[in-house]
Structure 1
Amino acid sequence: MSFIVYTRRRKKKHKSLEGLTKFKMSSGSVRFLILRSSRSLSYFPGAVTPGIAGSFRGYSSVCATEEKSTKDSAIDMALNSVVKVFCRSSKPSILQPWQKKFPQSSTGSGFVISGNKILTNAHVVADHTFVQVRKHGSPAKYTAKVQAVGHECDLAILEIDSKKFWEDMKPLDLGDVPALNETVFVVGYPRGGDNISITKGVVNRVEVTKYSHSKTKLMTTQIDAAINNGNSGGPVVMGNKVVGVAFQGLSNSESIGYIIPTPVVNHFITNVEENGQSFAFSSLGISFQNMENAEIHKRFKMSPQMTGILITKINRLSSAYGILKKDDVLLSIDDVSIDNDSTVSFRNKERINFSHLISMKKPSETTSLKVLREGKEHKFDINIKPVESLIPVYQYDKLPSYYIFAGFVFIPLTKPYFDLCNMSDSVLETMPKQSGEQIVVISQVLEDDINVGYTSFDDSQVKKVNGVQVENLKHLRQLIEECSTEDLRFELDTDKAIFLNKKSAKKVSSKILKRYAIPSAMSKDLRS
């Protein structure tokens, strides 16, 4: 708001007052100003006039009072809304998918939202076996049920079936994305103590960033308050509203934290309310390159006013497949122009990656795309939807798939496994050709006489079985078990091959499982 400050200038001898000067000032947070008497003001030669100096001191007092009031408000909200989450989890083993790792305990934060539910981070309760919640001021822990999880956006909703727990608990309201340089307070239970903690920070930037839990790129808000272990899932408040959920920090950097902004939070909550379960975020399913070079504009017959991105590949499972084409220039989404650096306008002189517009779409929601194709503009309406990834980037809350035959451990390729193996990076760029497709690899070879000479074939992709292209792990098992000949030939991506006698291999497989104390030759999902 704007306000007027009146001051009087002093003469050289400083004995009388004359001249009325008016100054107009602006502030987004000051609601009132208390001016001190001009007689009590100090004079700062060469800096500001006495009246202005006095007004700044008054302004500082007001700001300090308001900041204290905001912090007190955050504390009051925290006492009745913020909880500590205790999770016992057991993660599956990537290299030994038939067993889980030793159980571990961890803690996080959460807060009450409408409908007697608690919002927290997905990574706080990922692979959970037992979850409890404790409210402020109470020694009791209450058993919680994970109602919905959105691993992509790193959010989860908990339910507690106890009337006593909900006594005096108040839901928090969600606000807007805070402006740059706004002061916010992070509330939660970071490690280093057992009581609730409140830290202050300032908003530095709003942009699309990779979420460390899922590797998905979504909108984030960066603040200069550290987000430590245990803070995850706690609210970030400004005034009497939640403006985000604390979820990750920047490694090797101090006092840099990231929060999940309310547009992403609202999108998650709304979809859970409508669908009653977790969901995936929508995507165009395209690969593209920026068009900041002048020559590329000439090559694709763009006018001087046109901006956009060049489409280089389209996922076959995308709703845009068969509509968009390679070398199309994507100009706008729902009439929002895309710049040559793949950003769109966001608030006052801020910009954000265009993918944010797509990620906020509901599944099957109509999206209007304007493209330039061979010098002519075209407009297409498509029903946007989530796009399956050929190589899953994460795997939580479920047991991994595997199939063991003749000591060869076959698994579908995932990003967690890729990070541990020696496969080429080019495989990550591969797009699926059909729904349900998987890249099947040999994760290890359990040594036996029958597989002598093949033990170095781990990390190899199985392309074909007896000349038939492998579609996924379930298909590979089917090709082996329904094989009508005695000979099995596995063709690998390395141009090498494995040759087995089916009868001998089947006979020895049970002995290998017993030798290595493996309870089953396949995961539960393959038994049906």
Structure 2
Amino acid sequence: MPILGLLGQDADPAFRNLLNSVVRIDVWERDINNGFEQINRSQGSGVIVSQEGYILTNAHVVNPNAQRIEVTLANKHRVPARFVGWDHWTDLAVIQLDAGVVAERGVTFSFANIVDSKGLTLGDALYAVGTPYGLNRTLTKGILSNAERYLEGYITPTGYESGDYNTWLQTDAAINPGNSGGPLVRPNGDVIGINTQVVRGTTLGFAIPSNVIIPVWGELLRNGEVTRSYIGVTLSPLQDVLEEGNITDQGALIANVDSGSPAYNVGLLPGDIITSINGEPVDGYFPEQIPVIMAKVARYPVESRLELVVQRGPESFVKEVVTERLESRVGAKELFPKWGLSIEKVSKAVARESKLVEKTGVRVLGMQPALPASNAGLRINDIILKANNVRLQELQDLKGLYAQYEAGEIRTVLFEVYRQGTIAYIVLQ
């Protein structure tokens, strides 16, 4: 039976449009982790969501390192696409079909209707559409198993943090590798989520809900990224600790405070309970309420002053924190071929964990044997603080010295390196 027959005749036109909007995405991405450059090819799914050819997919399918993006439409046309923006915190990305190629070839395409996911009910029928294992236009059926699942500490397949600022839709519709970025839809063809991950060997699949997607999509179209505020706390639900004798049942528990963060600098501690933010009560009794609180803090403009009411044992007090810009642990990467060296800019998170006085430097990701970086004695995870007495605040600082080395203007480079709590000096020739 044709897959549309499973839905009944009334749903055919809308669902046919939806199926025709689902695409296969092939990505060629630059990888420099091992001291040399290689181009890796990967594949995922996406869904066209506008007449301008904008496509929603996952950030772990497409990211700024993409060298080439090719989209295969339902009508078999293969069209190049450009990268528009991404947000790994929600695992969302936007690309766009090449308008010139579309016009030149007379390519036509359908686009899907994305609607708010707030009206979903447990047990609602849902369909996952995508390209699992490269099998185009695959449709699987399931139900909504949970409308607000919290996946604490989720790391995307490409190594980026995700999930702290949103809940997920859980479904038993089969989601497999290659489904990533495809839509989760209702029987009427409305998109209510983007498929993201599955727990292997189970019927547990997860999708980003459309009430998260819609505002992120808008910001990616405007700015190419989403800017968030950060205070440096990890929160846990109160339900996990009430039996231990806490005297309040309202608020959210601080499970961890990042060293050197705004929260750390004003003296907040693990075990404290935040009961209000800027006069608004904090309700963090259940796990699914935690990302709502985190998202609320994140929406404040960077460098906002937040007044926190905090409970510590029987004592209640007020702390004012100034937010910082939220940054990933993963920094920008660069390759220096003649040295056989690949590096990553040190993020604030890594700098704090390494207890660096200056929150700058680059971290060694990999080296090729028998080339200058390896011969000099650099090691993976070394943090290079200075090169020829120039403090490395940006990748460009090291790239400038490398250009001089390539041109023969300098023959040696003296690195000041932070290695496991000590400073070492290494000469590269």
Q: TM-score, normalised by structure 1?
A: 0.60
The SS at the match of 2:216 is helix
Unpaired runs of 5+ in structure 1? 1-64, 344-350, 416-425, 510-528
1:309 deviation in Å? 1.0
The SS at the match of 1:72 is helix
Mapping 1:213-252, distance limit 5 Å: 213=157, 214-217=160-163, 218-240=166-188, 241-251=190-200
1:95 deviation in Å? 1.1
**Aligned pair partner of 1:91 in 12, 30, 50:** 30
The SS at the match of 1:352 is helix
Say if 1:335 and 1:216 are closer, same or farther in 2 by CA, change over 3 A: same
Say if 1:321 and 1:243 are closer, same or farther in 2 by CA, change over 3 A: same
Equivalent pair of 2:59/2:92 in contact (CA under 8 Å): yes
Mapping 1:42-191, distance limit 5 Å: 68=8, 72=12, 75-80=15-20, 82-97=21-36, 99=37, 101-104=38-41, 106-113=43-50, 116-126=53-63, 127-136=65-74, 138-160=75-97, 161=99, 162-163=102-103, 167=108, 169-177=110-118, 178-191=120-133
Give the structure 1 partner of residue 379 of structure 2.
458
Mapping 1:469-480, distance limit 5 Å: none
CA RMSD of aligned residues (A): 4.5
Say if 1:352 and 1:410 are closer, same or farther in 2 by CA, change over 3 A: same
Mapping 1:200-349, distance limit 5 Å: 200-205=141-146, 206-209=148-151, 210-213=154-157, 214-217=160-163, 218-240=166-188, 241-251=190-200, 253-273=201-221, 275-287=222-234, 292-293=240-241, 297=245, 303-306=247-250, 308-310=252-254, 312-314=256-258, 316=260, 318=262, 320=263, 322-323=265-266, 325-326=268-269, 328-333=272-277, 334-339=280-285, 343=286
* Distance in structure 2 (CA, Å) of the matches to 1:201 and 1:216: 25
1:354 deviation in Å? 1.0
Equivalent pair of 1:117/1:159 in contact (CA under 8 Å): yes
Q: TM-score, normalised by structure 2?
A: 0.72
The SS at the match of 1:123 is coil
1:245 deviation in Å? 0.8
1:307 deviation in Å? 5.1
Give the structure 2 partner of residue 50 of structure 1.
none
Say if 1:449 and 1:364 are closer, same or farther in 2 by CA, change over 3 A: closer
Per-residue CA deviations over 1:372-404 (Å, capped at 9, x if unaligned) read 257443456767554234x41x76xxxx22568
The SS at the match of 2:132 is coil
The SS at the match of 2:95 is strand
Higher RCO (CA-CA < 8 Å; seq separation 6+): 2
**Aligned pair partner of 1:401 in 327, 334, 350:** 334
* Distance in structure 2 (CA, Å) of the matches to 1:230 and 1:193: 8
1:119 deviation in Å? 1.7
**Aligned pair partner of 1:437 in 339, 360, 363:** 360
Say if 1:470 and 1:166 are closer, same or farther in 2 by CA, change over 3 A: same
Residue type of the partner of 1:325?
A: L
Say if 1:383 and 1:203 are closer, same or farther in 2 by CA, change over 3 A: farther
Per-residue CA deviations over 1:71-106 (Å, capped at 9, x if unaligned) read 5366233245x2323424033120115x2x145263
**Aligned pair partner of 1:493 in 416, 419, 426:** 419
Give the structure 2 partner of residue 358 of structure 1.
294
* Larger-Rg structure: 1
Equivalent pair of 2:180/2:197 in contact (CA under 8 Å): yes
Greater CA drift, 158-167 or 259-268: 158-167
The SS at the match of 1:147 is strand
* Distance in structure 2 (CA, Å) of the matches to 1:313 and 1:449: 40
* Distance in structure 2 (CA, Å) of the matches to 1:169 and 1:102: 31
**Count of aligned positions:** 394
Residue type of the partner of 2:68?
A: F
Equivalent pair of 1:176/1:262 in contact (CA under 8 Å): yes
* Distance in structure 2 (CA, Å) of the matches to 1:89 and 1:448: 27
1:112 deviation in Å? 2.1
Unpaired runs of 5+ in structure 2? 405-411
Give the structure 1 partner of residue 408 of structure 2.
none
Per-residue CA deviations over 1:243-281 (Å, capped at 9, x if unaligned) read 101122222x143321111122123113224x4312254
1:154 deviation in Å? 2.2
Residue type of the partner of 2:419?
A: D
Per-residue CA deviations over 1:491-519 (Å, capped at 9, x if unaligned) read 6535777666x6xx5xxx3xxxxxxxxxx
* Distance in structure 2 (CA, Å) of the matches to 1:149 and 1:244: 16
* Distance in structure 1 (CA, Å) of the matches to 2:313 and 2:202: 50
Equivalent pair of 1:88/1:105 in contact (CA under 8 Å): yes
